[in-house]
Homo-oligomer: A and B are copies of this chain.
Amino acid sequence: MAKLEEIKGFFMDLQDRICGGLEELDGSGTKFVQDLWERPGGGGGRTRVFAGGDVIVKGGVNFSHVHGPMPAKIANKLKLDEGAQFHATGVSIVLHPLNPYVPIIHSNVRYFEVEGGTFWFGGGIDVTPAYIDLEQGRAFHQLMKDTCDKTDSAYYPKFKKWADDYFYLPHRNETRGIGGIFFDHLRTDKDKHFQFVQDVGNAFVPSYRPLVEQNRVKAYGQRELDWQLHRRSRYVEFNLVHDAGTKFGLETGGRTESILMSMPPMASWGYAYAPEPDTPEAETQSLLKPMEWVPIHV
């Protein structure tokens, strides 16, 4: 069975490969800047941030491995014993693009274990376009389905629905974007689940590449930038009001700057802002709901 060190090693290598892949995809010569940090209670992380590229205006690819006796707040949340030795490790990614036609992408792969044998994997990839392109959405979801199907054909329908349910803003009655996959508490078969998490991590750059390459050259003006700023405000609202990982991190004394690297570089709020009817913006607004992107044969 996969051991902690092997899993951690995969995550560190994944961070390296994703940063390299994104630098190449961006193509501006801009490099990730690394910030090493230590957690007072044990462990730490490698926060890597990217700013001012040709494609990515602000982004982060963070690795962390924190461990030690479980703080009371975390133990209460997870219904585990306070003080038990735990390890949590993973990679989390948020990329905010410059061009409004290139979607925001978010991904996370993570592993948690606590002394006594309890462990689980979690993760996912999801996409938030300011302008939804149906064909690109289908291709992204097809890749998510193909990635899932390698391990279990029941995964895509289950984890796609999980993402639809999770990346949802009830106070706006809209999804954050076009979803993707989201999963947590995979704990029944360690080797199978580790293989799946590796497949998901390795699918990150290939899933973003076409979304970048097909959209980065599209022309835009103030109108598209205004709409992007508006959509980013919904991203902020989701992350600060609903995102369980953000809330958990902030409440349990996680490293604020690493958690909130997910925030966009700039966002705007207008009172009762809504797109004009029969515009591309209104079309995207109408598509912010759970959709059947690819046929599912369970």
Interface residues of A (CB under 8 A from B): 35, 49, 51, 58, 60, 170-172, 229, 233, 236-237, 240-241, 247, 250, 256-257, 259-261, 263-272
Does the CB pair A267–B267 fall under 8 Å? yes
Measured between C-beta atoms, what is the minimum distance from A74 to chain B in Å? 15
C-alpha gap A49/B271 in the complex (Å): 8
Look across to chain B and name the residue whose beta carbon is closest to the beta carbon of A47: B271
C-alpha gap A134/B209 in the complex (Å): 52
20 example contacts (A-B, Cβ-Cβ < 8 A) are as follows A49-B271, A51-B271, A58-B269, A58-B270, A58-B271, A60-B271, A171-B250, A171-B256, A171-B259, A172-B256, A229-B266, A236-B240, A237-B240, A240-B241, A241-B247, A260-B269, A261-B271, A263-B269, A266-B267, A267-B268
Residues of B within 8 A of A250 (CB): 170-171, 241
Residues of B within 8 A of A271 (CB): 49, 51, 58, 60, 257, 261
C-alpha gap A287/B266 in the complex (Å): 25
C-alpha gap A271/B51 in the complex (Å): 9
Does the CB pair A264–B257 fall under 8 Å? no
Measured between C-beta atoms, what is the minimum distance from A194 to chain B in Å? 31
Measured between C-beta atoms, what is the minimum distance from A236 to chain B in Å? 6
Measured between C-beta atoms, what is the minimum distance from A288 to chain B in Å? 15
| Known contacts A241-B250, A266-B229, A267-B266; A257/B272 CB under 8 A | yes
Measured between C-beta atoms, what is the minimum distance from A172 to chain B in Å? 7
Look across to chain B and name the residue whose beta carbon is closest to the beta carbon of A247: B241
C-alpha gap A237/B260 in the complex (Å): 10
Look across to chain B and name the residue whose beta carbon is closest to the beta carbon of A264: B269
Residues of B within 8 A of A272 (CB): 35, 257
C-alpha gap A170/B259 in the complex (Å): 14
Look across to chain B and name the residue whose beta carbon is closest to the beta carbon of A240: B240
Residues of B within 8 A of A259 (CB): 171
C-alpha gap A271/B49 in the complex (Å): 8
Measured between C-beta atoms, what is the minimum distance from A226 to chain B in Å? 11
C-alpha gap A237/B268 in the complex (Å): 14
| Known contacts A240-B237, A240-B240; A265/B270 CB under 8 A | yes
Measured between C-beta atoms, what is the minimum distance from A168 to chain B in Å? 13
Measured between C-beta atoms, what is the minimum distance from A128 to chain B in Å? 16
Residues of B within 8 A of A51 (CB): 270-271
C-alpha gap A259/B260 in the complex (Å): 23
Further 15 A-B residue pairs, CB within 8 A, beyond A233-B263, A263-B269: A51-B270, A58-B271, A171-B256, A229-B266, A236-B240, A260-B269, A264-B269, A265-B268, A265-B269, A266-B266, A266-B267, A266-B268, A266-B269, A267-B267, A267-B268
